[in-house]
Amino acid sequence: MAGCTTRAVISNEVYRTVRRSRERNPAVARQTDVFQHPAKLWRRLRAGLWLIAVLTILTPGSLGFAQGLPRVALECPPDVQRPTSPFKLNITISWQGDAQSHVIIPPEPVFPESFHVRSSSFEATVSDSLHQLTYRFILVPRETGRFTISPVTIHCWPRDSSTELSLLTNKCAITVEPAAGLFQKKSLAAAAAIMLAIIAAGVYIIKKHSDRIRPSKQPAVAADHTLVQQCRRELLQGDYTAFYTTALKAARALMPADQSLHNRIAAHLEHVQFSSRKPSAEDANHILRQLKRSLDRIEKT
């Protein structure tokens, strides 16, 4: 009994000592409570992990990547458009740094049904470290009214990443109105008719003048045309001996001063006649194209 009483007294003294220490130092009390309650410890540990993750995402490198994204824009025409009058619409993509730092997929804009796409083109420019891609579209409005071109999605990704990015341009509002008045339309139509009449008269005069100056050359041109057509038939048939023989005649008639061409055709003809190897079809086609171009120049003059 005495031993039990002694242990009880010692336990009470230890309890009172711990209690007085916790009352004098609250931080120690909180630390003791945390370790005595595992749930509180887990919640604080999880909050700390979330804080570390957020700080990792918002590092200067990540912020720099976000700032280095290409800038995209849909450039709208500033003026009111007229029906059937073409106008230009540009999509620009620009970024600072290396030209090969981004892979850009060409945009595919969707235009209103009343717009006809006449043509499209592409241009790449660089100034200092600013790189710019410009996609130009020539549009022709068919109807009057106010139209909206939806924002265009630009797909791209950095070369050191496999994640595709989607960048969105601004939208574009276009107004199409009729011409100012009927008088302007009539004036334009009259001017166009006068210009067509002048052009037609000029073409007729030039043609008559050409026929009057060189009437004797028509039979020669017809004969040259026949030689060129004969060369084409013989080449299609695979008769290279006949082809080079006729080509030599046509070259001397069409290009009498081009002695190098005459020698080259003669060398091919000799090679075909005295060699068992099949001649090059590419060389024969090249000679035929030269003859056709020379004949076209003669016929135009």
pLDDT digits (tens, 9 = 90+) for 211-267: 665 544 455 667 778 888 888 888 888 888 888 899 888 888 888 888 888 888 888
Model pLDDT, residue 217: 47
The answer to whether the CB of 44 falls within 8 A of the CB of 31 is: no
Residue 209 has pLDDT above 70, yes or no: no
Structural Rg of the chain based on CA atoms: 43
CATH 2.60.40.10 in the chain, residue ranges: 70-176
Claim: this prediction has a pTM higher than 0.75: no
Residue 54 has pLDDT above 70, yes or no: no
Question: Token pair of 159, please?
Answer: 């070369």
CATH architecture under which domain 70-176 falls: Sandwich (2.60)
**What is the edge-to-edge ordering of all strands in the sheet holding 165-168?**
102-104, 153-158, 165-168
The answer to whether the CB of 243 falls within 8 A of the CB of 279 is: no
**How far apart, in whole angstroms, are the C-alpha atoms of residue 224 and residue 217?**
11
Model pLDDT, residue 215: 46
Tell me which residue of 193, 172, 189, 191 sits closest to 81, measured CA to CA. 172
